[in-house]
Amino acid sequence: MSELFSILLNVISPIFIVAGLGAFVGRRWNPDTRVLSLLLVYILVPALVLNGIRTSQMQPETLLTMGLLIGALVGILTVVGLAVAHVGRWNDQKRGAFMLTTLMMNAANYGVPVNRFAFGPVGEQTAIVFYVLNNLIGNVVALGFASGGRSALLALRGVLKVPIMYAAVVGLALNLLDVGLPLPLERSLTIVAEGTIPSMLFLLGLQLAHTPLRGRLRLVLVGCVVRLLISPLIALPLAYVGGLQGAMLATFVVQSGMPTAVLANAIAAEFNSDREYVALMTFVSTLASTATLSVIIALMTPVASAG
């Protein structure tokens, strides 16, 4: 019990303290979040991704393995989600919203700092790689379901329009070729990258500040079980089969148990999905994750240490 409390206090609570400040500002002054969102999408997150992959010690074969494992995770979660929707006899709109909240996990502005606090630099770098790969694989599949299966290609084009993927490619090239950056550029990149995580947490708070607290409890409960519990349970054997070890294995499992991404709300609005359910699921899963992630991190810490 003391270990769980320590994780909750030292790993999880810093995330919610910073996000809570963002939520307070959102409630008190209701600022426009678009400017911060644009800075994150087009400057801050690409800088974090480029710097993280550029300095990563992860081998190319490990990157390939991570991609295959995330693809397998997304595939299995898709089957699980469709099975749940079939049993519930949900219409296309409800099924699309459920798949959106199942496949879009908050691996960036929640997952990266949590794994950094829990597992150190290796955890942070692995979390960044997980986020980039899931952004290309999981988010595209989720967008396809949210659009009723009509705009999967459009979803892929949307992902490729933002510079995150290109930053990952540049970072990987610099890493593999062992090419350094000029000192002024390297220092500028480091400054921007270090400002990304607090900015992401403030944005998380700002967006959650206006999340409605009403909705369908049963459907939200099912969604939380899939997103917070079943997903990491699927990820654990996949990580072992894929040969991940230590902090990389632990981070892969923890990232898989992240709550629904705040971005899912914008996607639901864009494709006329069940916005109220997606918003409620985002809020409840984020709140519930304080308990589930504390347990998962406690279970994964010995694994990370052993690596």
pLDDT per position as a tens digit, 83-94: 999 998 888 888
Locate 239 and state its tokens. 């990580």
Assigned domain for 34 exists: no
Assigned domain for 252 exists: yes
d(CA 143, CA 151): 8
Locate 223 and state its tokens. 């969604």
Residue indicated by tokens 């890493």: 175
* pLDDT of 24: 93
* pLDDT of 244: 94
Residues contacting residue 121 through CB under 8 Å, at least 6 positions apart: none
Assigned domain for 60 exists: no
Locate 140 and state its tokens. 């595209």
* pLDDT of 278: 84
Assigned domain for 61 exists: no
The total number of structural domains in the chain stands at 1
Q: What is the pLDDT of residues 190-232, one digit of tens each?
A: 999 998 888 878 887 887 787 666 657 888 999 999 999 999 9
Q: What is the pLDDT of residues 56-80, one digit of tens each?
A: 887 888 888 999 999 999 999 999 9
Assigned domain for 135 exists: yes
* pLDDT of 215: 58
**Residue 44 · residue 192 · CB < 8 Å:** yes
Assigned domain for 111 exists: yes
Assigned domain for 96 exists: yes
3-state secondary structure the chain: CHHHHHHHHHHHHHHHHHHHHHHHHHHHHCCCCHHHHHHHHHHHHHHHHHHHHHCCCCCHHHHHHHHHHHHHHHHHHHHHHHHHHHHHCCCHHHHHHHHHHHHCECCCCCHHHHHHHHHHHHHHHHHHHHHHHHHHCHHHHHHHHHCCCCCHHHHHHHHHHCCHHHHHHHHHHHHHHCCCCCHHHHHHHHHHHHCHHHHHHHHHHHHHCCCCCCCCHHHHHHHHHHHHHHHHHHHHHHHHHCCCCHHHHHHHHHHHCCCECCHHHHHHHHCCCCHHHHHHHHHHHHHHHHHHHHHHHHHHHHHHHHC
* pLDDT of 58: 79
3-state secondary structure 199-247: HHHHHHHHHHCCCCCCCCHHHHHHHHHHHHHHHHHHHHHHHHHCCCCHH
Domain that holds residue 144: 2-27+71-161+201-306
d(CA 194, CA 190): 6
Assigned domain for 291 exists: yes
pLDDT by residue, tens only, the chain of 307 residues: 678 888 888 889 998 899 899 989 998 998 887 788 778 878 888 898 899 888 888 788 888 899 999 999 999 999 999 999 999 888 888 888 899 899 989 998 899 999 999 999 999 989 999 998 888 788 778 877 776 655 556 666 666 777 877 888 898 889 888 898 999 999 999 999 998 888 878 887 887 787 666 657 888 999 999 999 999 999 999 999 999 999 999 999 999 999 998 778 767 766 667 777 887 898 899 999 999 999 999 999 999 988 6
